[in-house]
Structure 1
Amino acid sequence: MIWNFTKMHGAGNDFVVLDGVRAAIEMTPERARAIAHRHFGIGCDQILLVDTPSHPEADFRYRIFNADGSEVEHCGNGARCFVKFVHEQKLSARNPLRAEIATGLITLEAKQNGEVEVEMGQTRFDPEALPFDPDGLETRSLNNDTLYGLPIGEQTVWLSLVAISNPHAVQVVDDVDHAPVATIGPAIESHPRFARRVNAGFMQIIDRHTIHLRVYERGAGETLACGTGACAAVAAGIRRGLLDSPVRVRTHGGWLSIAWDGKALRMTGPAVTVFSGSIDIDKLLASIPT
């Protein structure tokens, strides 16, 4: 079975994008893992599947699969690539677009400078939204935010909880380039208090309108950028009283711009097409070592 694909990235967060509108694409965890494999497959952080919507107000539906095969609710960098893909593939000329994701509808608009702005949807801060079990944990109030002290080994990590469809746990660090992302990140991501795992964000405050950020993502590990992670970090920083909107976010893959007025949260950033090709998904699956 031959599938056509497009390789894309948003600030280095890379995707394999598939057109499920014009061809039947049945994605499985095994197929997602094979496509995402960086040695035996195409290689990517996530797979995006563009499909016909079920919601009457949506132009398209898109689904996101992590490199480990798990399906997730949202992807900010992927959302921008989705818009560029739909326009380049001439699936639609509409701008803005309305997209159906697992948790509702989002609005996306291609800008004349080549960047894409995404209205990110509902933002919540209650533990139940992630979901997260806070029972018995120490908490601290900081301005409008509540920090939860999560024991990791012999230390306590103080986290802001943010749900932007995806669950995020954000901590502030002094130097993000030397933060223990590779060790503390997976410990937070898979902590049993997070029922569906979590994206672990490490934020360094540069000034009231600038942060540096690294994110250890569910099912993908550390990526060069995380769109929903950038939004979560900015929202947490504003609630803590450390930031003012708008905020520029430096990731290892580039810069994102986040604006939040306490209600509507908007992200703007690049979306780049790298190359297109085709792959025999059955042969690919057969070639992956077990």
Structure 2
Amino acid sequence: MTPLGTGAFIKGHGTGNDFVLLADPDGAAPLTAERVRALADRRFGIGGDGVIRAVRAGAAGDPALDDAPAGSWAMDYWNADGTVSEMCGNGVRVFVRLLLDAGLIELADGAAIEVATRSGLKRVIRQGALFAVDLGTFELGGDRLVAAHGIEVARPGLDVSTGNPHVVVALASADELASLDLHAAPVLDPEPEGGANVEFVVPGSIADGVGAIRMRVHERGSGETLSCGTGAVAAALATRHWSGDAADRWIVDVPGGRLEVEVDERGHAWLTGPAELVFRGEEIDGGVSRAR
């Protein structure tokens, strides 16, 4: 466990959804849109789908993060384009892994920590090398049309709220999923206020109460990513709805790996998956970095 000093960062990912991680316990170095864009730039910066600052609740400078019990840790998450985001399912697991690695918390196997996010407190349980996140209750909304490069006709998408807004679209085959070009953002009709993440899924089999799906995602503010935690949950919940609630546990395969989604007896959605830290370094020359 190694403390992080001023200007130091850790690079981490959850099933390929990657982040620049900064430890700022006392809130001495608030993020700005300009700094986030510089850090997340894959050519001139460190590179990542987003930037995460670990700060004590009460010192974050954001009422949505500071309205948490004293002593709580807050996840200040920003998209790569410099916009703030409510929540990140992969990011919150990597956030807890950062706290452990930096020696900021101790968390035994099976123990839990509550993390303040812009969509409320999220309970994270350590399960060996994996972390399970209680995303709380979810909401299924209405339908809207979704057009994307690689599919000839716009498809219906289901609104799903898992702390972040999502629109989930079912496709017929793995070939159709592979043919998508998600460099450009899908077009939603009507366009939701504030935008949404868009998940394209291919439902698989359901056996012994466990369902399987494959998914790709375009995240608002980041573009196509190898994985999206809250998006995997949204995709599983939409498929569960379409199947008549045939299963409460879902295996979600994304380009960056595999995640598990489960709906408990309270109607809470849980996301379980890995959290990896891959290197550490320090910022120099206004955003250029060197690994160490």
Letter in 1 for 2:122: I
> Which of residues 215, 219, 222 in structure 1 aligns to 2:224?
222
The answer for the alignment partner of 1:27 in structure 2 is: 31
> Which of residues 254, 266, 273 in structure 2 aligns to 1:251?
254
The answer for the alignment partner of 1:75 in structure 2 is: 88
The answer for the alignment partner of 2:63 in structure 1 is: none
Deviation digits for residues 76-101 of structure 1 (CA, Å, limit 9, x no counterpart):
00011011111111111143110110
SS of structure 2 residue aligned to 1:186: coil
The answer for the alignment partner of 1:89 in structure 2 is: 102
Residue 172 (structure 1) aligned with residue 174 (structure 2): no
The answer for the alignment partner of 1:10 in structure 2 is: 14
SS of structure 2 residue aligned to 1:236: helix
Structure 1 residues 276, 22: closer, same or farther in 2, change over 3 A?
Answer: farther
Identity of aligned residues (%): 31
Query: Does the Cα contact within 8 Å between 2:87 and 2:117 map onto a contact in 1?
Result: yes
Deviation digits for residues 213-236 of structure 1 (CA, Å, limit 9, x no counterpart):
000101111111110000000111
Give the alignment of 1:85-164 within 5 angstroms.
85-94=98-107, 95-112=111-128, 114-126=129-141, 147-150=143-146, 155-164=153-162
TM-score by length of 1: 0.84
Stretch moving more, 259-268 or 207-216: 259-268
The answer for the alignment partner of 2:74 in structure 1 is: 61
CA distance in 2, matches of 1:31, 1:44: 13
- 1:185 deviates by 6.3
- 1:62 deviates by 0.5
Query: Does the Cα contact within 8 Å between 2:183 and 2:224 map onto a contact in 1?
Result: no
Query: Does the Cα contact within 8 Å between 1:17 and 1:49 map onto a contact in 2?
Result: yes
Stretch moving more, 55-64 or 162-171: 55-64
Aligned CA RMSD, in angstroms, stands at 2.4
Query: Does the Cα contact within 8 Å between 1:150 and 1:156 map onto a contact in 2?
Result: yes
- 1:184 deviates by 9.2
TM-score by length of 2: 0.83
- 1:284 deviates by 2.4
Question: Number of paired residues?
Answer: 263
